Amino acid sequence: MKRKINVLIFASILGLIALSIIQGYLINNTYKLEKDAFIEETKRAVFRFDDQLIEIDSIYEIVGEEMVDRIIDYKLGRLEKRKFLNEFNNITDSVNPKFIKLYQDAFRSFNLSHPVKFQKRLRAVVLLDSVFNDTLFYKPQKINSLYLLGEDFNVESAYALNNSQITNDVQRNYVENGIEKSVSIEFQVTTQDYINIDGWEKEVLRRMSGILVLSIFIFAFVLGLLYYSIKSLITQKKIADIKTDFVNNITHELKTPLATLTLATKMLRKEEIQHEPKLIDNTVQTIERQNKRLQKLIDQVLNNSLGYKEIELNKESVIITDYLNTVLDDFELSVKSKDLKLNRNFNQLHSSIRIDKFYMTTALLNILENAVKYSENNIEINIDVQVSNHLKISIEDNGIGISDKDKNQIFEKFYRAGNTEVHNVKGLGLGLYYTNQIIKAHNGNISVKSKENKGTTFNLSIPFN
């Protein structure tokens, strides 16, 4: 059964891990889809107003004119290719503030939910000729393209819009050595636009918040359900174990007195014993003892269903030390063990307390009997009494002790410590439960201190009123 539960816990953990991986994968995919959709949306919005920015054309014209001048200079041999881009930045710098403002205003008027930046880069300038194409400027990688206009940001983390290719045909007149001449050029300019969306992660997460909350909730729910199922399975197993233990223990406990009773009755039937009154008396005493033992066992089982609220106390006033001495005298007589040393560390007190003598005696005897049951040789029991606003009785033994793990549970119904020393001793695990209920019924408190192989101390505290 224990193996089965372990396998079940292991399988559940595996299932949970698999579930989390699948869920993580799905969330990641949704994240990617949401991100793509969001970026696509933003790109579309930019395209829409890109066409409507008429004023931007005048800026493109200025930059275009500059480019044409340089291409002509190059064609006429007045400018080297590697110097083609020199000072190009000056001209873009002068028009850029206006360019940026136009875009920013447009972004604002389109009410985009997040700040967007725009940048135009130059990728290639090719002089088209009927014979060959003469590349003036060409950068194949997107990062290596040349920053032309717009806001300055790193394009590595930006999103590329479509690149545009414009082919132009221009004719220009110029004067050389006092003679007016004309030149015509055909060229192709490739530019690439980028947008940078600040805080897109936040926006995507905001859009996914519903699905995120739902999946966290479902995960927590499954986890809770699993925890609850395994916990109740363990509890059920504990209860089943306790029941089996109880049945085994009670059968064991009943067997000995019953066997003795069978022997005793057989003995009484024997003819030779009829004339031996001493033997008859001895046998009858044995029958009485076993009878008492059986009665005690049955009482224990019957009383185990009593909670402290159901115990009806019949309180009477007793002189504390007189009462304790009677209980201890009776106990000493019943033990008959020569090894037992009972130290009564208290003087005669005249204070009295109101208790139910019958129940309180049962509670004290349960503790005292345990002290003998769970000790090996040279048993020594110390009884201390203190009187303040409570009556405090401590019963200390030098027995096998109780482990920290068991200490918290010994007052539970049917609980017995798991060590072999305890299992060699008969018991139902009901004595301390009942003792605790009796002390609680007196509005008192019982606690235990113990060290394995050193001994155990039970501390009782009972209020005077």
Distance CA 418, CA 390 (A): 34
Supply the minimum distance, in Å, between the C-beta of residue 248 and ligand ADP.
12
Is the Cβ of residue 371 or residue 439 nearer to ligand ADP in the bound state? 371
Q: Which of 447, 443, 441, 448 is CA-nearest to residue 462?
A: 443
Distance of CA 452 to the CA centre of its chain: 33
Q: Which range in 4-12, 90-98, 133-141, 412-420 contacts ligand ADP by CB under 6 A? A: 412-420
Q: Which range in 9-17, 80-88, 93-101, 371-379 contacts ligand ADP by CB under 6 A? A: 371-379
342 binds ligand ADP (CB under 6 A): no
Residue 171 buriedness (CB in 10 A; 0-12 / 13-18 / 19+)? exposed
Q: How many helices (H) and strands (E) does the chain have?
A: 10, 12
Is the Cβ of residue 75 or residue 416 nearer to ligand ADP in the bound state? 416
Residue 168 neighbours by CB distance under 10 Å = 14
- Six-digit token pair at 190? 């490739």
Is the Cβ of residue 353 or residue 430 nearer to ligand ADP in the bound state? 430
Supply the minimum distance, in Å, between the C-beta of residue 402 and ligand ADP.
5
Supply the minimum distance, in Å, between the C-beta of residue 414 and ligand ADP.
8
Q: Which of 302, 457, 465, 443 is CA-nearest to residue 395?
A: 457
Distance CA 254, CA 290 (A): 10
Could you say which residues in the range 373-392 bind ligand ADP, by CB under 6 A? 373-374
246 binds ligand ADP (CB under 6 A): no
Rg value, the chain, Cα: 49
Tell me the site size for ligand ADP, rule CB under 6 A.
23
Could you say which residues in the range 415-434 bind ligand ADP, by CB under 6 A? 415-417, 422, 427-433
H helix or E strand, kind and range, residue 245: helix 200-269
462 binds ligand ADP (CB under 6 A): no
Is the Cβ of residue 21 or residue 425 nearer to ligand ADP in the bound state? 425
439 binds ligand ADP (CB under 6 A): no
Instruction: Please select the residue that binds ligand ADP; options are 283, 290, 370, 461, rule is CB under 6 A.
Output: 370
Classify 402 as helix, strand or coil.
coil
* Binding residues vs ligand ADP (CB under 6 A): 366, 370-371, 373-374, 397, 399-402, 410, 415-417, 422, 427-433, 456
